[in-house]
């Protein structure tokens, strides 16, 4: 038994916003109330001044297992997640082999369970080998527990192929998560196309390369009725397209990453920092402002990290040959707290929506509420802790962070997953 005492509980799903005690028995919440007496033998967490929220859920991470375990494994990725306050992560299928069968889904779930840190929720590929040519074993993957479908890393280039995927996935009440990129426009691009790419002499990845595919996928959503989730949206016009689709009542949702909310292309300079290279690229200050507005006003639904670990030797090279991607699990919540919540731009209620409630809805995961009977997947947050982003902060295998050196305020101190206290006072159990 675990009793969390005196935390400020925030749960917009049931209108909770005040100081409460929460008692956990086994894998579920047993009681929520004022001044609960600690039962014999219960572990007690004194949580005065902290916030308790339904477990943070990141529906876009890359754990690289199977096939690229030198970058990250399900175990090390789970450690990074728990350390960042996440109770659930959805893993992208661009592994080797690609997760495109029921067996692939089963493997990741079993491995996640064996690690026993966070809930690992595999995303199945839309097409075999993510090649965009033939349908993957979608029915089998649903039966084994796939939470969504995506060919992340690539856009599905053929509209006809994506239409078939969406027709199929719709029957299982799952969403298709689309990495929106028209390859013929972005093929050699590495940074946003514009003034900065010209000055640095790096090939450009134009905003239109993303927006054209977002527009196309919204039309396919209209055609098929399948739930469409737009991955890592990075441009103002992209957010505008989502806003318009929602106004029409289409089943469209979208996610945004901390690096696209808080960093822009102006940071790129003659140091050619490869930890500022990710897909899609950092955009203009006007784009980041529009994304911040979108995540606060409800246009964008989820904050995700797109946690994309790469080994040091892969990133310590010329900008042109470095792989795309940055890690994010340990810094996501601190960045949101520092930049949006503590500045008053985003309420705690909205933070819980974009980091827990909405991601769980998109990935069709059981809702977690701070009430009796709900799964005991909870995150305890100290909004006042100061931290600096240094290599030591990272609990996964890699620290290819775009935020190295940043000074932030607020982080998760404790993570409870299925009633297990996996992060205790900022330390992994
Ligand atoms: N985002 C990235 O820059 N990289 C991702 C792939 C992806 O999300 O597109 C990766 O797997 O490394
Ligand atoms: Zn992607
Ligand atoms: Zn990704």
306 assigned to active site: yes
Question: Ligand 1: residues within 6 Å at CB?
Answer: 62, 94, 152-153, 179, 278-279, 306, 308, 324-325
pLDDT score, position 429: 86
Q: Stretch 110-117: mean pLDDT, rounded?
A: 98
230-269 confidence digits (pLDDT tens):
999 999 999 999 999 999 999 999 999 999 999 999 999 9
Which ligand 1 atom sits closest to the C-alpha of 231?
8
22-75 confidence digits (pLDDT tens):
999 999 999 999 999 999 999 999 999 999 999 999 999 999 999 999 999 999
Question: What is the percent of the chain where pLDDT is above 90?
Answer: 100
178-200 confidence digits (pLDDT tens):
999 999 999 999 999 999 999 99
Is 399 labelled a binding residue?
A: no
Q: What is the 3-state secondary structure (H, E, C) of the chain?
A: CEEEEEEEEEECCCCEEEEEEEEEECCEEEEEECCCCCCCCCEEEECCCCEEEECEEEEEECCCCCCCCCCCCHHHHHHHHHHCCEEEEEECCCCCCCCCCHHHHHHHHHHHHHHCCCEEEECECCEHHHCCCCECCHHHHHHHCCCCEECCCCCCCCHHHHHHHHHHHHCCCCEEEECCCCHHHHCCCCEECCHHHHHHCCCEECHHHHHHHHHHHHHHHHHHCCEEEECCCCCHHHHHHHHHHHHCCCCEEEEECHHHHHCCHHHCCCCCCHHHCCCCCCCCHHHHHHHHHHHHHCCCCEECCCECCCCHHHHCCCHHHCCCCCCCCCCHHHHHHHHHHCCCCCCHHHHHHHHHHHHHHHCCCCCCCCCCCCECCEEEEEEEEEEECCHHHCCCCCCCCCCCCCEEEEEEEEEEECCEEEEECCEEC
pLDDT score, position 277: 98
63-109 confidence digits (pLDDT tens):
999 999 999 999 999 999 999 999 999 999 999 999 999 999 999 99
Q: Set out the domains of the chain in order of their start, with CATH numbers.
A: 2-52+372-383+408-428 (2.30.40.10), 54-363 (3.20.20.140)
Residue 2 has pLDDT above 90, yes or no: yes
Mean pLDDT for all residues in the chain: 98
Tell me which of 88, 306, 382, 414 is the catalytic residue: 306
- Expressed in angstroms and rounded, the spacing between residue 338 Cα and the centre of ligand 3 is 24
d(CA 114, CA 73): 12
Q: Stretch 271-284: mean pLDDT, rounded?
A: 98
Contact 221, 166 (CB under 8 A): yes
Q: Whose CA is nearest to atom 9 of ligand 1?
A: 153
d(CA 92, CA 103): 15
Q: Stretch 378-392: mean pLDDT, rounded?
A: 98
- Expressed in angstroms and rounded, the spacing between residue 198 Cα and the centre of ligand 1 is 24
Distances (CA, A) of 179 to 39, 260, 261, 368: 49, 15, 17, 27
pLDDT score, position 91: 99
Is 310 labelled a binding residue?
A: yes
d(CA 417, CA 429): 12
């Amino acid at each position: 038994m675990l009793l969390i005492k005196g935390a400020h509980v925030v749960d917009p799903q049931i209108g909770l916003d005040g100081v409460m005690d929460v008692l956990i028995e086994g894998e579920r919440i047993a009681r929520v109330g004022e001044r609960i007496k600690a039962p014999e033998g219960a572990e007690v967490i004194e949580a005065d001044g902290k916030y308790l929220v339904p477990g943070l859920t990141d529906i876009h991470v890359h754990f690289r297992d199977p096939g690229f375990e030198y970058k990250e494994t399900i175990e090390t990725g789970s450690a990074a997640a728990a350390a960042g306050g996440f109770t659930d992560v959805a893993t992208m299928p661009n592994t080797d082999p690609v997760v495109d069968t029921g067996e692939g889904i089963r493997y990741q779930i079993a491995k996640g369970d064996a690690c026993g840190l966070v809930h690992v929720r595999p995303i199945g590929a839309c097409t075999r080998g993510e090649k965009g040519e033939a349908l993957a074993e979608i029915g089998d993957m649903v039966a084994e527990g796939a939470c969504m479908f995506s060919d992340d890393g690539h856009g599905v280039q053929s509209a006809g192929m994506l239409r078939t995927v969406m027709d199929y996935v719709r029957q299982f009440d799952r969403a298709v998560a689309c990495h929106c990129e028209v390859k013929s426009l972005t093929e050699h691009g590495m940074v946003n196309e514009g003034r900065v790419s010209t000055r640095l002499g790096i090939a450009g990845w134009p905003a239109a390369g993303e927006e054209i595919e977002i527009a196309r996928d919204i039309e396919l959503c209209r055609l098929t009725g399948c739930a469409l989730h737009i991955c890592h949206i990075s441009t103002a016009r992209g957010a505008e397209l989502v806003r318009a689709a929602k106004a029409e009542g289409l089943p469209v949702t979208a996610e945004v990453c901390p690096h696209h909310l808080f960093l822009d292309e102006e940071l790129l300079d003659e140091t050619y920092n490869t930890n500022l290279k990710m897909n899609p690229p950092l955009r203009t200050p006007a784009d980041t402002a529009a994304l911040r507005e979108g995540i606060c006003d409800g246009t964008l639904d989820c904050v995700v990290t797109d946690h994309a670990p790469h080994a040091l030797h892969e990133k310590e090279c010329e900008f042109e040959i470095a792989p795309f991607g940055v890690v994010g699990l340990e810094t996501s919540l601190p960045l949101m707290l520092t930049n949006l919540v503590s500045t008053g731009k985003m309420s705690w209620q909205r933070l819980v929506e974009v980091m827990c409630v909405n991601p769980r809805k998109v990935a069709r995961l059981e809702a977690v509420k701070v009430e009796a009977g709900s799964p005991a997947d909870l995150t305890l947050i100290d909004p006042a802790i100061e931290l600096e982003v240094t290599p030591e902060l990272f609990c996964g295998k890699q620290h290819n962070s775009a935020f190295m050196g940043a000074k932030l305020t607020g982080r998760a101190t404790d993570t409870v997953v299925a009633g297990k206290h996996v992060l205790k006072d900022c330390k992994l159990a």
